Structure 1
Amino acid sequence: MDNQYKKNRITIIVIFAMSIVPFGFAWFLAKNPEIVKLGTNNGALITPPQVTSADEFSGYDTFSAQNMQELKGHWVLVNPVPKNCEEACRDALYKTNQLTLMMGKDIARIRRLAVLFDKTYQLPAEWRDDGRLLKALPAASLQEKLKQLSARPLPEGMLIIMDPLGNLMMQYAPGYDPYQVKSDLNKLLRISQIG
């Protein structure tokens, strides 16, 4: 009888633990959501997406002013350029150039954009000769939207992806891996019905 009593007691404890442990685990994950990485994206999603409009971008030079309509209906790799574009900034722009080349047949669906915050910035020769790089001056409203993406001033060398509807929807920290961006872009282009 004593042996049966122990078995019943163990069974009750096991059933109780089986009902409590999942709730405890769920409570722990709810209190610590940073532990679980949801999704397969490499970049950080911008939630909610920052909506932009065409009038918030004005061409920095004649080439860009004439081709600014190219942003509509395309996926755009946006490189914010601070007052002085140092090595991290130039590296980010070089990576976006290589990224577009790596995209193969999808290259026609992607545009590159350097957003310059200083009207007096002297463009390097490689930017002036780049026929695929658009340069834009942001309107004050766009500058505010870009500043909201980071708690501190925009870091030099970051990358932002803008969808064909003009939503800033994903960002990458300076020093990003172009292969990770390519992976995200491939997914976005595969499921996109627009752009």
Structure 2
Amino acid sequence: MDKQHRKNRITILVIFAMSVIPFGIAWYLAKHPDIVRLGTNHGELISPPLITDAGEYSGVDPFSAEHIGELKGHWVLINPVAGECGETCRVALHKTNQIGLMMGKDIARIRRLALLFDNKLPLPAEWRDDGRLLKVSPAPSLQQKLTTINPSPLPDGSLLIMDPLGNVMMKYAPGYDPYQVRDDLSKLLRISQIG
């Protein structure tokens, strides 16, 4: 009888623990949400996405002005350039070129864009030879919208991803890892029904 009584007590304690422990874990995670990282993306999602219009981009050279229509219907890797393109900016542009090449057969779905906030500066010579890089200046309305992503000017070396509908939806800090961007972009392209 004593053995059966102990067995019943253990069963009751196990049932009690099974009902209380999940609530305890849920309460702890609710109080400390930074412990759990949801999602598998490496970049920071912009929520809500920044809605842009094709008219807010204007090409600063003949090549870009002629091909500005390619922004619609393509995924766009945007490199913000606040002033003169220094070493950080050049490295970031090289990384986006490499990301495009790493995408293999999906390269046709991607465009690269240098967003020049000061279009009076001369374009570096290597940009003129880059037949896949669009050089554009943002309209004042777009510059205003970009302050919602980052109150100060976007730093050189950062990266934005724009979807085929013109929504800027992901950003990366300067010094981003191109392999992580490629992984995020591959997932987006795989699940995308557009572009």
Residue 167 of structure 1: CA displacement? 0.5
Paired position in structure 2 for 1:116? 116
Structure-1 separation of matches of 2:32 and 2:123 = 46
Change (3 A) 1:47 1:130: same
Structure-1 separation of matches of 2:145 and 2:27 = 35
Per-residue CA shift, 1:77-100, capped at 9, x if unaligned? 001111232221111101011111
Paired position in structure 2 for 1:62? 62
Figure out how many residues of one structure are paired with residues of the other and give that number: 195
Paired position in structure 1 for 2:149? 149
Structure 2 residue 143 is matched with structure 1 residue 135:
no
Paired position in structure 2 for 1:191? 191
Q: CA RMSD in A?
A: 1.8
Structure 2 residue 28 is matched with structure 1 residue 21:
no
Paired position in structure 1 for 2:96? 96
- For structure 2, the residue ranges without an aligned partner over 5 or more in a row are none
Residue 34 of structure 1: CA displacement? 2.1
Most deviating of 108-117 and 78-87: 78-87
Q: TM-score, normalised by structure 2?
A: 0.91
Structure-2 separation of matches of 1:6 and 1:194 = 63
User: What is the one-letter code of the residue matched to 1:54?
Assistant: A
Per-residue CA shift, 1:141-185, capped at 9, x if unaligned? 211222221254322211111010000011111111111111111
Structure-2 separation of matches of 1:161 and 1:125 = 25
Q: Look up the SS of the partner of 2:85 in the other structure.
A: coil
User: What is the one-letter code of the residue matched to 1:185?
Assistant: L
Structure-1 separation of matches of 2:155 and 2:10 = 58
Task: Report if the CA contact (8 A) 2:52-2:166 is conserved.
Answer: yes
Structure-1 separation of matches of 2:159 and 2:32 = 28
Structure 2 residue 81 is matched with structure 1 residue 76:
no
Paired position in structure 2 for 1:107? 107
Residue 118 of structure 1: CA displacement? 0.6
Task: Report if the CA contact (8 A) 2:81-2:155 is conserved.
Answer: no
Paired position in structure 2 for 1:160? 160
Structure 2 residue 53 is matched with structure 1 residue 48:
no
Change (3 A) 1:152 1:7: farther
Most deviating of 111-120 and 146-155: 146-155
Structure-2 separation of matches of 1:132 and 1:149 = 26
Per-residue CA shift, 1:78-132, capped at 9, x if unaligned? 0111123222111110101111112122111110000010121221101122111
Q: Look up the SS of the partner of 1:84 in the other structure.
A: coil
Structure-2 separation of matches of 1:166 and 1:151 = 21
User: What is the one-letter code of the residue matched to 1:174?
Assistant: P
Task: Report if the CA contact (8 A) 2:158-2:175 is conserved.
Answer: yes
Q: Look up the SS of the partner of 2:68 in the other structure.
A: helix
Q: TM-score, normalised by structure 1?
A: 0.91
